[in-house]
Amino acid sequence: MASHRNSSETKASSEIKALKAILWVYIILCLIIAGLNFGYVSRATPEVAAFIAWLWGFYENWVKTSFIVIGSFLTLRIIGASGRTEMRKRNLTGFIVMALVVHIVGPILLDNQELYFFAMPLPWTTIPLQLMDPNTTFYLKYLPVFGLTGIALALAFYLLITIVVLVGTLLWGRRWQCATLCLFNGFASEVFDPVMPLLGTRKKLKARGLKLFAILRWLFLAVAIGFTVYWVLYLLGLPLANSETVAKIETYKYLAAELLMAMFFWVAFSGRGYCYYCPLGTVVGLLGKLVGQQITTNQSNCIQCGRCNVACPMTIDLKSRAATGRPVSELRCVGCGHCVDSCPTETLAYSTRFLEHFKSNNN
């Protein structure tokens, strides 16, 4: 028995090391290639610029998808040894399917290696709006790459993604986007969850930290909406400030406050760090409240073990609610279901009004 246990522990340790190595490689490659793509390519020769663009596309599509598939397999192996994985399996399956659509199948069918730019609805990015005006820097940059047909197909793909996110959120709540489809931060927080943070131990936010992130949530939503309104008015022909400057500011915001900060959280805090203030997450969170998203806590008897609080990546106090069987409805809940899988008495369940209606009709 002892020999078998030691063998299992050794295997789990190897899988954790492999998962951690993959995440380190992903972060380092991203910083290097993104730095070249956003910082150096404008000064490079046409040949070098073309190679960097190809390298960035290859990394974002093929390398990222490979890491998602391999990482998902390793994560399920790691967490499966200590408890239920039902919710986590659904999460990881969703991310694998989304990655295959956005990063592999879509780019091949539409001949567009940068289709991932169009996989996040407003107000997260205004790139689709920028691509609708022939005078913007973004349009002039990508017209030779996409062509008019390619631009039209990219915008159609963006519209499809937006509809899928909107309809899915109205049925399944914030879980649909943040724990199943998001290929910016959501996928990493699920695929690499067992090894986050890469340095130190996972930290829970105190009251002051939660207040700070609550302020950032509304601040970043206001900024995102501001960019959206600007580009809508610009497309309507209103005389506004220099569009090239606004586009650069938005790019710098993405690189510094989103991409780099998300990776910093992965290394030093929590995989869901960026989710506390993601503007799209806030929007789908509000929609989730509208459709009755909640964690029910009365499926059986709560034994107050506290595993749900430990498992929650968004520092939500489920334990105190479960003590009296009250549902948990929090704006910052991403619907990942970690708490549901961790509950030894299976008293927790993720729910929306649609899911409740579906469940009642099938009983």
Q: What pLDDT score was predicted for residue 357?
A: 85
Q: Cα separation of 227 and 235, whole Å?
A: 12
Q: What pLDDT score was predicted for residue 29?
A: 94
Asked if pLDDT for residue 322 goes beyond 90, the answer is yes
Q: What pLDDT score was predicted for residue 4?
A: 44
Q: Tell me: the pLDDT tens digits for 230-286?
A: 999 999 988 887 888 898 899 899 989 999 999 999 999 999 999 999 999 999 999
Six-digit token string for 333 = 């809940």
Query: How sure is the predictor about 82, in pLDDT bands with cuts at 50, 70 and 90?
Result: low
Q: Tell me: the pLDDT tens digits for 325-340?
A: 999 999 999 999 999 9
CATH class of 292-361: alpha beta
Is the distance from CB of 195 to CB of 16 less than 8 angstroms?
Answer: yes
Six-digit token string for 363 = 């009983």
DSSP-derived secondary structure for 128-196 = HHHTT-TTSHHHHHHHHHHHHHHHHHHHHHHHHHHHHHHHHHHHHTTHHIIIII-TTTHHHHHHTGGG-
Q: Cα separation of 247 and 125, whole Å?
A: 10
Six-digit token string for 140 = 């002039």
What average pLDDT does the structure give for the chain?
91
Average of per-residue pLDDT across 17-34: 95
Q: What pLDDT score was predicted for residue 9?
A: 54
Peptide bond into 107 cis (omega under 30): no
Q: What pLDDT score was predicted for residue 310?
A: 95
Of 83-87, 138-142, 165-169, 307-311, the least confident: 138-142
Six-digit token string for 66 = 């490979």
Q: Cα separation of 92 and 182, whole Å?
A: 11
Output 162 or 82, whichever has higher pLDDT.
162
Domain ranges for the chain: 2-287, 292-361
Asked if pLDDT for residue 53 goes beyond 90, the answer is no
Predicted TM-score of the model (pTM): 0.92
